[in-house]
Structures are given as structure tokens and as C-alpha cells.
Amino acid sequence: MSYVSSEPGITPVFRPNSAAYRWRLLASTIGWSLMALMFGLLAMTLVAIIAFVIIRGGANISWATFTQTTQSYHGLINAIEGSVLVTFGALLIAAPVGIVTGIFLSEYQYLKTARLFSFLCDVLIGVPSIVLGMFGYIAMVNYLGWQFSLLAGCITLAAMIVPYIARTSEMALLQVPGNIREAAYALGAGDRTVIFRVVLVSCVPQILNGVLYAAAISMGETAPLIYTAGWSNYSWNGHFFHEPVGYLTYVIWSFISEPSAAAHQLAYVAAFLTTLIALLINLFARSTLRRKNAPH
């Protein structure tokens, strides 16, 4: 391991050949090695988890996984559909609200309210997902009488990702240079025109990235859904209230505690699918982000 910098101009000039200095070099080498080891430890954990879901789950994937329901442990189609529905439903609610909130936070940042709301967004991001689940259970499942239902699940998830979309949108909008806004205002445009026609369009990819990450988060959530969406072995029948829906993460948590080996296999397949989807969304979002940033 080299201590010599690769950047020109910052190579140490003072390099006496004393024993003390050699000790310091040795200490540095050990230090860097330890740091590399720590990095390796985290990277290996990722590799281990991915290998685990591929070996246990990827191997058991079959045509039936995508065509049959969890009834009698044949497939996962009801859970896959449910996960997609719950996620899209949450996004349909959270994305407009989140993006508009992001606009408020960035374009009116000179207001005290905007700074307060930005802080409250962070507070909401920090609320544990099970607390949101309990809230959804008390407020929607019981108080509003919706029972275990698609909508209760969607709204609970939406509450979880709204602040996230708002903050990523805010960040994206703040990166748009101020002089673009000033130019538009100078031409006589109002707030609405400036924001929608000038500022927003120049950072659509970044905002969509925030939405994509939010989709990945909701796909992987379990705790807020257990007592709001419930669970169903059948595909969704078009009802928003009173009918439970299935989702992939439930299968992972619940089927692993059942007696049959077929149930365990489904749990592994579900783990494989959720991990795959979450990681692919993450990779996709990062790659678009980099492409966009490249010219800057």
C-alpha cells in the first residue's frame, strides 16, 4: 500500500530517512490497511446478502411464481401485484404532494414557514415506520372503519414517503441556478410560470429520481403494511376499502415461520424479488443522476 499521493503537487517534500519516520510510515500503512478492511467488511456484507437471496431464492424461481397465487404455496402473483399496487397507489398520492411541497420549500425558502416545514419534513422522515403503521391502524383501519384495505396501506406508505420526495425535490430545485429565475422574472413572468416552465423542467430527472427512490423504499417496507393492508392470497378484486391485499415483504416475514418447505421456498423467492427490485431501482436512479450531472 502506497502512502504517496497520486495527485501531483502534494507529494510530501520532507522525507528524512530516520527510524522514527519509518515507524510512522509503518503505522500509516497499518492504518490504511485497517480502513481498507473496514470498507471490505461492508462490501462483503452486501455481496453475502445478495448471494444469499440469489442462492436460496433465485434458484427456486419458476414460471408458477408469476402465474399462480400463494394459495397452496405455488406462486407469488398476488403478492407481486399487491406490492406494485400499493407502491403505485402511494406514489400517486405522495408524488404530487411531495413535489409541490418541494417547490414550496425551495422557491419560498425566504419564508419562515418554508424553513419550519423543511424541518418538519425531516422530523416526519425520522418517524419509525411502525409508528406510522400503528397510526394507520388506529386512524384508518379502526376509526374510519376502512378495515385492512388497499387504501389504508397506500395512505400509510404515502405518509412515509411524502417528506422524502419533498426533500429530494427541494434539493433538486435548489440546484437550479438563481439567475435562470431572475431572467424569467425580469421578462415579467409570474411565480407559476417561472416555477413550472423554467425551474421545474430543468430538474425533472432529479425529481423523478427522488420519486424512484421513494418507490424503492415503499416496495421494501413491511411494518407499515402489516396492520393496514393486511394480507390476501388472492389477486386484488378492484376494492379500495374493506378488502385486504397481499404484498411481497409479508411473504418473507410470515411464510418463513410456517411448517412446510414449500412456504419457506416462497419466502426466499420473495426475498430475491424484493431485493432485486430495490437494488435495480437504486442502480437505475444513480445512473440517470450521473448522466444528468456529467455536463456540469
Partner 1 sequence: MKRNTWFRWGVTACASIIPLVLLAIVIFLLIDSWPAMRFNGWHFLVSNQWNLGNEYGDLVTVNGQQVPPGADYGIGFLIVGTLSSAFIALLLALPVSVAASAFLAEMVPKRLQNTASLMVELLAGVPSVVFGLWGLIVLVPFMNHYIYPGLTHVLGDIPFFQPPTGAGYGLLTSSVVLAVMIAPLITSTVRGAIENVPMVQREAGLALGATRFEVLVKTVIPGVRRVIIGAGILALGRALGETMAVLMVSGNALGYLPHNIYSPISTMASFIVSQLDSALQDASGMAEHALAEIALILFAITLIVNVAARGLLWLARD
Partner 2 sequence: MKGMFKAKGLRTGSLVIKGVLAATLATASIGAANATTTIQETGSSLLYPLFNLWVPAYSKAHPDVQINAASTGSGTGIAQSIAGNVQLGGSDAYLSGAMMKKHPHMLNIPVAISSQMVNYNLPGLNGKHIKLSGPVLSRIYEGTATYWDDSAIKRMNPGVDLPHHRIVPVHRSDGSGDTFLFTQYLSFSHPYWHKKYGYGTTVNWPAVQGEIGATGNPGMVQALKDNPYSVAYIGISYKGQIDKDGLGEAKLKNRSGNFVLPTVETVPAAAAAMVPKTPKDERVSLIFAPGHNAYPIINYEYTIVSADQGDMAAPLKQFLNWAVSTKGGNASEFLKPVNFMPLPQKAAELTRAQIAKIH
Q: Which residues sit at the interface with partner 2, rule CB under 8 A?
A: 71-73, 81, 84-85, 88, 91-92, 147-148, 197-198, 200-202, 204-205, 208, 230-238, 242, 244, 254, 256-260
Tell me how far, at minimum, the Cβ of 239 lies from partner 1, in Å.
23
Whichever of 15 and 242 has its CB closer to partner 2, that residue is: 242
Considering only 22, 39, 258, 293, the residue that binds partner 1 (CB under 8 A) is: 39
Cα torsion 91, 220, 175, 206: sign: negative
Q: Which helix (H) or strand (E) holds 61?
A: none
Q: Taking a C-beta distance cutoff of 8 angstroms, is the pair 206, 99 a contact?
A: no
Whichever of 92 and 111 has its CB closer to partner 2, that residue is: 92
Measured distance CA(106)–CA(110) in Å, rounded = 9
Nearest to 205 by CA among 177, 171, 178: 171
Nearest to 228 by CA among 220, 236, 240: 240
275 binds, among partner 1, partner 2, none (CB under 5 to 8 A by kind): partner 1
110 binds, among partner 1, partner 2, none (CB under 5 to 8 A by kind): none
Residue 101, CB-side half-sphere exposure with 13 Å CA sphere: 22
230 binds, among partner 1, partner 2, none (CB under 5 to 8 A by kind): partner 2
DSSP per-residue codes, 126-152: HS-HHHHHHHHIIIIIIIS---S-HHH
Tell me how far, at minimum, the Cβ of 220 lies from partner 2, in Å.
19
Tell me how far, at minimum, the Cβ of 10 lies from partner 1, in Å.
5
Considering only 71, 175, 260, 282, the residue that binds partner 1 (CB under 8 A) is: 282
Nearest to 223 by CA among 92, 134, 155: 134
174 binds, among partner 2, partner 1, none (CB under 5 to 8 A by kind): none
What is the gyration radius of the CA atoms in the chain, in angstroms? 25
259 binds, among partner 2, partner 1, none (CB under 5 to 8 A by kind): partner 2
242 binds, among partner 1, partner 2, none (CB under 5 to 8 A by kind): partner 2
Q: Name the one range near partner 1 by CB under 8 A: 64-72, 201-209, 228-236, 276-284.
A: 276-284
Whichever of 58 and 205 has its CB closer to partner 2, that residue is: 205
Give residues 191-230 in contact with partner 1 (rule: CB under 8 A): 191-192, 216, 219-223, 226-227
- The length of the chain is 296
139 in contact with partner 1 (CB under 8 A)? yes
Q: Which amino acid appears at position 106 of this protein? A: S
Measured distance CA(94)–CA(160) in Å, rounded = 9
Give residues 57-116 in contact with partner 1 (rule: CB under 8 A): 96-97, 100-101, 103-105, 107-108, 113-114
Q: Taking a C-beta distance cutoff of 8 angstroms, is the pair 289, 205 a contact?
A: yes
Q: Which helix (H) or strand (E) holds 59?
A: none
